[in-house]
């Protein structure tokens, strides 16, 4: 049979270098590609989500997938060697991100202040976002006001003084292109010159790559062909050939051309009331102000990235009202004439080289690059209403290389390699140094997928069952599971033991019904299995149910036994009562007669004691958090049937149940207030987070589902004030009663095994 590997090809946050098998963990700093599309608040939330559990969940999922794949592969398989190496790296990251959960903000803030290829800019919109906060901005203008509320920014004041009265002359794109080509052509241009310059200007003005050496029919375009088609007789001008080439090679190009950002603003309609006109002027003034600031910020970032200037252009302009007025005059003049405003602003900076401390003039290549990035980034941030604030942005230099190129794009976010921000006091520093060295050769755009790790394994059913556990079996594709059920009798015992250990009573009984001739064999045969809490036993299904005090499961099994099976199991139970049942958990061997409820009772009592003794003191919050997580850790270890008593939907723990219902609904669902979604008690999400780490469960008097106390100091404070006086004592009383009732039920189990079938009426 063929089994596809589980290791995900498109995991969140994870990139793997094919040549070295190096795993890289990419930390999202802000949404976006070459410019951020999140504001300050959203960027903070993205980082918080990563460190507060998001990345640990993803790493845990990835780890389980690797463990599944590794279990399928033989020791000497080359793929296993690579997967084991990746697993070791994933475990290093799990340890490190867990250690930095409460210190990542400082580490990230310190890293962002260093020189890199990510540049912060801060603008001044009319309505400012008071939460806007940037670190080490490349471009910013003064955002504060004087005592009378007047803006202190000279640039802002100049724009708001002149922009309301501008009459914009909106240029036709074809005219713009024609004029640009005619201006760039050499004297007495050849036909090939016109083709070349036309292509260059299409790219420069519109970002379009058009081949003017062949027509739409893919035939070569020559001067002779154009003269014949157009009827030129030796007197055609350059403009005639421009028009002819556009018609022959790009007749529909105008459909793909956006209006330049500055000219998308437009003029004020004449058919407006005075108040409407006033509002329209204010809106247009703000748009032009933001456009001007945004272009200057892009130009500033370009100059800094290319080492042309280290100045903050916004501060330079704010320091000189005269310079600010000259710049705004340049904008007004260009808009009124329909000129290429972006070019005019670049020429202005060339004229003011001394003020902006440019190391050289901006050339045609520079101006084209700035214009194109300005248009791309502006259209990106204004494409949707997801980013209503125009206060601050981060701009990524996609062309950066070498040591400065620390930031990359990955899966729709601007990211940094975790190895760059890892705390130097944490273990495995040599590993992180190697990760940084390996990552230095990557491009700025990181592939979203690790396609090369995809694959599948061909394996025989017997070999498969010998290598995997029940959890892994359940994760096999359904067709593979069905094939195993048809072809492997040994699988029935395997499934039966695990169904009993995990409280899946209906499935276990279905296996007994489906194989009546083998039912006694299934009940009497010991085997190796693991329960939800990671305890591994080698015993019969009934011995486990008896050990766990799952007497609902015991009764089902007793109903299915013949007298010989009963006698056999009674003998094994007698031995167990004398010597205990041995099991392995977390690498250690344990032996006990029954599951011990004491750790859960103790944890519940500790929460009550902390509330009663420390509430209102400075030590309360830390103590109650520790006590509450102690409950969660104890809950990780309970057998499935105890969790199912918490989760049953038909009654709460108040009033105190008798726990004598005929059936036990075998559900493990609860509502997780952390994720605001339905969740499951078992299987446990991870050894590093989840129950006992960021949540614990209480039932109390709530009706319907078990409830989760929202994690966090604030959430703990509010939750415990409400829950401890009522819910936790209710839970404790219920667990004490449940232990008492199930212990007494075991006496009935011994009676059921002792009496002959014809004299026995099994009690529920």
Last residue of a domain, one of 396, 412, 432: 396
Tokens of 187: 């004297």
**Mean pLDDT across 665-683:** 83
Q: 195 lies in which domain range? A: 173-258
Q: In this structure, is residue 750 part of a structural domain?
A: no
What is the C-alpha separation between 231 and 240, in angstroms, rounded?
11
Q: In this structure, is residue 7 part of a structural domain?
A: yes
**Mean pLDDT across 187-206:** 93
pLDDT at 716: 29
What is the C-alpha separation between 728 and 701, in angstroms, rounded?
10
pLDDT band at 464 (very low <50, low <70, confident <90, very high): confident
Tokens of 511: 């296996």
Query: 703 and 628, same structural domain?
Result: yes
| pLDDT tens digits along 263-317 | 989 888 888 999 999 999 999 999 999 999 999 999 999 999 999 999 999 999 9
Query: 579 and 500, same structural domain?
Result: yes
CB 657 within 8 A of CB 731: no
Strands (E), 46-203: 118-122, 139-140
Query: 606 and 693, same structural domain?
Result: yes
**Mean pLDDT across 398-424:** 95
Tokens of 419: 């190895």
Query: 90 and 239, same structural domain?
Result: no
pLDDT band at 387 (very low <50, low <70, confident <90, very high): low
Last residue of a domain, one of 562, 595, 628: 595
To which H or E segment does residue 346 belong? helix 341-351
pLDDT at 720: 38
pLDDT at 764: 41
Instruction: Decide if pLDDT at 591 tops 70.
Output: yes
What is the C-alpha separation between 23 and 27, in angstroms, rounded?
13
- Please enumerate in sequence order all residues whose Cβ is within 8 A of that of 636, keeping only pairs 6 or more positions apart, or say none: 533, 684, 691, 692
pLDDT at 705: 39
Exposure of 514 by Cβ count < 10 A (0-12 exposed, 13-18 middle, 19+ buried)?
Answer: exposed
Query: 290 and 152, same structural domain?
Result: yes
- The stretches of 488-562 forming alpha helices (DSSP H) are 490-501, 505-514, 519-524, 541-548, 551-559
Among 191, 186, 187, 175, residue whose Cα is nearest residue 232: 191
CB 47 within 8 A of CB 108: yes
Q: In this structure, is residue 363 part of a structural domain?
A: yes
Instruction: Decide if pLDDT at 755 tops 80.
Output: no
What is the C-alpha separation between 263 and 259, in angstroms, rounded?
6
pLDDT at 149: 95
Q: How many CB atoms lie within 10 A of CB 622?
A: 13
Whole-angstrom distance between the N-terminal and C-terminal Cα of the chain? 44
Query: 578 and 435, same structural domain?
Result: no
What is the C-alpha separation between 701 and 721, in angstroms, rounded?
16
The number of distinct structural domains making up the chain is: 5
pLDDT at 758: 52
pLDDT at 523: 97
What is the C-alpha separation between 102 and 109, in angstroms, rounded?
13
Q: In this structure, is residue 266 part of a structural domain?
A: no
What is the C-alpha separation between 719 and 620, in angstroms, rounded?
13
**Mean pLDDT across 99-105:** 92
SS3 597: coil
Last residue of a domain, one of 396, 411, 436: 396
Q: Which of 97-106, 319-328, 632-641, 722-731 has the lowest mean pLDDT?
A: 722-731
| pLDDT tens digits along 57-95 | 999 999 999 999 999 999 889 999 999 999 999 999 999
pLDDT at 714: 21
DSSP label of 555: H
SS3 367: helix
Q: In this structure, is residue 77 part of a structural domain?
A: yes
Instruction: Decide if pLDDT at 724 tops 70.
Output: no
pLDDT band at 491 (very low <50, low <70, confident <90, very high): confident
pLDDT band at 259 (very low <50, low <70, confident <90, very high): confident
Tokens of 298: 């892009």
What is the C-alpha separation between 399 and 445, in angstroms, rounded?
10
Between 134 and 713, the more confident residue is: 134
Q: In this structure, is residue 480 part of a structural domain?
A: no
Q: In this structure, is residue 554 part of a structural domain?
A: yes
Taking CA atoms, 277 is separated from 265, 271, 385, in Å, by: 15, 9, 24
Query: 705 and 686, same structural domain?
Result: yes
Instruction: Decide if pLDDT at 674 tops 70.
Output: no
Between 643 and 672, the more confident residue is: 643
Instruction: Decide if pLDDT at 709 tops 60.
Output: no
pLDDT at 708: 41
Among 653, 691, 689, 687, residue whose Cα is nearest residue 672: 691
Query: 701 and 623, same structural domain?
Result: yes
Query: 13 and 110, same structural domain?
Result: yes
Query: 199 and 154, same structural domain?
Result: no
Q: In this structure, is residue 460 part of a structural domain?
A: no
| pLDDT tens digits along 360-374 | 999 999 999 999 999
pLDDT band at 559 (very low <50, low <70, confident <90, very high): very high
Instruction: Decide if pLDDT at 521 tops 70.
Output: yes
Query: 436 and 350, same structural domain?
Result: no
**Mean pLDDT across 471-480:** 80
Instruction: Decide if pLDDT at 234 tops 60.
Output: yes
Query: 311 and 223, same structural domain?
Result: no
Average pLDDT, the chain: 90
Instruction: Decide if pLDDT at 757 tops 80.
Output: no
């Amino acid at each position: 049979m063929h089994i596809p590997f589980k290791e995900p090809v498109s995991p969140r946050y994870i990139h793997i270098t094919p040549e070295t098998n190096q795993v890289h963990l990419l930390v999202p700093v802000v949404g976006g590609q070459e410019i951020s599309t999140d504001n300050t608040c959203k960027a903070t939330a993205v980082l918080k989500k990563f460190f507060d559990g998001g990345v640990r969940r993803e790493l845990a999922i990835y780890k389980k997938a690797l463990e599944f794949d590794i279990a399928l592969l033989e020791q000497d398989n080359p793929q296993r060697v690579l997967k084991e190496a990746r697993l070791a790296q994933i475990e290093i990251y799990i340890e490190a991100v867990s250690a930095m959960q409460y210190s990542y903000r400082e580490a990230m803030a310190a890293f962002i202040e260093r020189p890199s290829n990510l540049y912060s800019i801060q603008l001044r919109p009319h309505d400012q976002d008071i939460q806007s906060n940037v670190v080490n901005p490349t471009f910013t203008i003064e955002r504060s006001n004087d005592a009378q509320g007047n803006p202190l920014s000279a640039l802002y004041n100049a724009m708001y003084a002149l922009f309301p009265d501008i009459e914009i002359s909106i240029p036709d794109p074809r005219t713009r292109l024609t004029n640009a080509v005619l201006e760039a052509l050499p004297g007495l241009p050849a036909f090939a010159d016109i083709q070349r310059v036309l292509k260059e200007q299409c790219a420069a003005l519109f970002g379009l790559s058009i081949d003017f050496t062949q027509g739409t029919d893919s035939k070569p375009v020559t001067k002779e062909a154009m003269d014949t088609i157009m009827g030129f007789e030796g007197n055609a001008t350059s403009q005639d050939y421009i028009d002819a080439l556009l018609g022959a090679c790009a007749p529909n190009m105008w459909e793909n051309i956006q209006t330049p950002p500055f000219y998308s603003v437009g003029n004020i309609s004449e058919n407006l009331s005075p108040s409407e006109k006033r509002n329209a002027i204010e809106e247009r003034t703000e748009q032009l102000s933001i456009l001007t600031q945004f272009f200057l910020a892009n130009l500033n970032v370009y100059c800094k990235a290319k080492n042309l200037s280290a100045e903050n252009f916004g501060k330079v302009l704010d320091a000189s009202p005269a310079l600010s007025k000259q710049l705004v005059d340049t904008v007004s003049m260009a808009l009124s004439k329909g000129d290429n405003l972006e070019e005019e602003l670049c020429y202005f900076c060339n004229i003011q080289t001394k003020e902006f401390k440019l190391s050289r003039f901006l050339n045609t290549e520079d101006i084209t690059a700035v214009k194109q990035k300005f248009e791309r980034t502006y259209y990106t941030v204004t494409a949707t209403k997801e980013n209503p604030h125009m206060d601050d942005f981060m701009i990524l230099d996609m062309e950066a290389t070498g040591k400065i190129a620390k930031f990359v794009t990955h899966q729709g976010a601007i990211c940094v390699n975790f190895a760059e921000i890892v705390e130097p006091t944490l273990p495995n520093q040599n590993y992180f140094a190697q990760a940084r060295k390996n990552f230095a050769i990557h491009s700025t755009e990181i592939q979203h997928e690790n396609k090369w790790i995809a694959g599948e394994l061909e394996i025989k059913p017997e070999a498969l069952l010998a290598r995997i556990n029940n959890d892994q079996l359940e994760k096999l594709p359904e067709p593979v599971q069905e094939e195993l059920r048809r072809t492997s009798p040994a699988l029935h015992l395997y499934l039966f033991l695990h169904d009993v250990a995990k409280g899946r009573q209906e499935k276990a009984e279905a296996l007994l019904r489906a194989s009546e001739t083998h039912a006694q064999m299934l009940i009497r045969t010991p085997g190796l299995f693991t329960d939800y809490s990671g305890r591994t036993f080698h015993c019969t299904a009934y011995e486990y149910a008896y050990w766990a005090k799952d007497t609902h499961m015991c009764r089902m099994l007793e109903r299915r036994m013949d007298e010989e099976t009963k006698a056999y199991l009674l003998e094994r139970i007698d031995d167990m009562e004398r010597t205990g049942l041995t099991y392995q958990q977390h690498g250690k061997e344990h032996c006990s007669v029954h599951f011990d409820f004491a750790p859960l009772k103790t944890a519940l009592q500790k929460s009550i004691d902390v509330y009663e003794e420390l509430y209102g003191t400075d030590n309360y919050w830390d103590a109650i958090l520790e006590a509450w997580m102690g409950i969660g850790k104890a809950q990780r270890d309970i057998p499935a049937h105890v969790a199912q008593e918490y989760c049953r939907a038909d009654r709460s723990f108040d009033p105190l149940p008798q726990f004598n219902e005929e059936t036990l609904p075998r559900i493990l669902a609860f509502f997780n207030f952390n994720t605001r979604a339905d969740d499951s008690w078992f299987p446990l999400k991870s050894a590093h987070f989840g129950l006992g780490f960021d949540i614990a469960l209480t039932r109390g008097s709530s009706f319907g589902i078990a409830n989760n106390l929202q994690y966090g100091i604030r959430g703990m404070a509010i939750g415990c004030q409400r829950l401890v006086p009522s819910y936790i004592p209710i839970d404790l009383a219920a667990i004490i009663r449940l232990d008492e009732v199930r212990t007494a039920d075991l006496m009935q189990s011994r009676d059921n095994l002792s009496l002959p079938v014809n004299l026995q009426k099994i009690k529920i």
